[in-house]
């Protein structure tokens, strides 16, 4: 899992660096993220992911102490945080698509790259979150049935923390740098 994380981290780093460079190179880069709903939603999303990382750590800790029932509850709590993140993110996407008329290929501000980079970055991250939710659901069911060891839960925790870690870079670079005052 660490080797996979290395590969994925380099992928996201390259995409983030390319996005930041294009953003700085475009004088009229749009700044459409109003305090409500965009910044508020993305801040709550950050809180959801950070809290889900905490619950995931508690799940790993519970498994290390042999408490499978508690581990399952903590994994389910992690999934609630991740599910809330996806729901809020999709709401934010629908707001941008319907109200701001923004697509990956065009928008009202005359900078097509804005939509392309935004949806590519956040879409790739959200895909990772959804895959993580599927992964955790399998872990929760299996651990509840007495399968898998503590190390297996720890490996799933590594993936989830990585997903959280990537958001720690996407949130400030994409949302906060384009916040509309």
Partner 1 sequence: MSNHAEAVLETESAGTRTFIAVWLALLCMTVVEVTLAYMRPPVLVFLTALVGLSVIKAALIIAYFMHLKFEKLSLFLTLFPMLIFCIILMLLMFMPDSGRLMVRPQ
Which residue ranges make up the site for partner 1 (CB under 8 A)?
A: 2-3, 6, 9-10, 13-14, 16-17, 20-21, 24-25, 27, 39, 43, 46-47, 50-51, 53-54, 56-58, 61, 65, 154, 157-158, 161-162, 164-165, 168-169, 171-173, 176-177, 179, 181
Q: Which is nearer to partner 1, 27 or 98 (CB)?
A: 27
Shortest Å, Cβ 115 to partner 1:
21
Q: Which is nearer to partner 1, 147 or 180 (CB)?
A: 180
Shortest Å, Cβ 164 to partner 1:
6
Shortest Å, Cβ 103 to partner 1:
25
Residue whose token pair is 């953003």: 23
Q: Which is nearer to partner 1, 57 or 113 (CB)?
A: 57
CB 143 within 8 A of CB 61: no
Q: Which is nearer to partner 1, 51 or 106 (CB)?
A: 51
**Closest C-alpha among 12, 46, 86 to residue 175:** 46
Shortest Å, Cβ 24 to partner 1:
5
| C-alpha pair distances (Å), 6 with each of 25, 130, 135, 159, 162 | 28, 20, 19, 11, 10
Shortest Å, Cβ 145 to partner 1:
25
How does DSSP assign 23-76, residue by residue?
A: HHH-TT----B-IIIIIHHHHHHHHHHHHHHHHHHHHHHHHHTT-HHHHHHHHH
Q: Which is nearer to partner 1, 20 or 106 (CB)?
A: 20
Phi, psi angle pair for 179, to nearest 5°: -75, 140
Query: What is the C-alpha to C-alpha distance for residues 54 and 62, in angstroms, rounded to an integer?
Result: 12
């Amino acid at each position: 899992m660490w080797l996979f994380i290395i590969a994925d981290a380099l992928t996201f780093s390259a995409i983030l660096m390319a996005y930041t460079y294009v953003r700085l190179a475009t004088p009229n880069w749009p700044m459409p993220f109003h305090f409500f709903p965009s910044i508020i939603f993305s801040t709550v999303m950050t809180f959801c992911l950070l809290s889900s990382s905490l619950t995931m750590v508690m799940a790993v800790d519970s498994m290390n102490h042999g408490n499978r029932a508690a581990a399952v509850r903590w994994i389910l709590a992690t999934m609630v945080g991740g599910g809330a993140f996806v729901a809020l993110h999709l709401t934010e996407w629908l707001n941008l698509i319907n109200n701001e008329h923004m697509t990956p290929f065009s928008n009202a501000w005359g900078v097509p790259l804005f939509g392309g980079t935004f949806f590519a970055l956040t879409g790739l991250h959200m895909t990772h979150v959804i895959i993580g939710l599927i992964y955790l659901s399998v872990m929760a069911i299996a651990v509840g049935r007495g399968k898998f060891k503590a190390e297996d839960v720890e490996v799933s925790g590594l993936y989830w923390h990585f997903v959280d870690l990537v958001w720690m870079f996407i949130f400030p670079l994409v949302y906060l740098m384009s916040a509309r005052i």
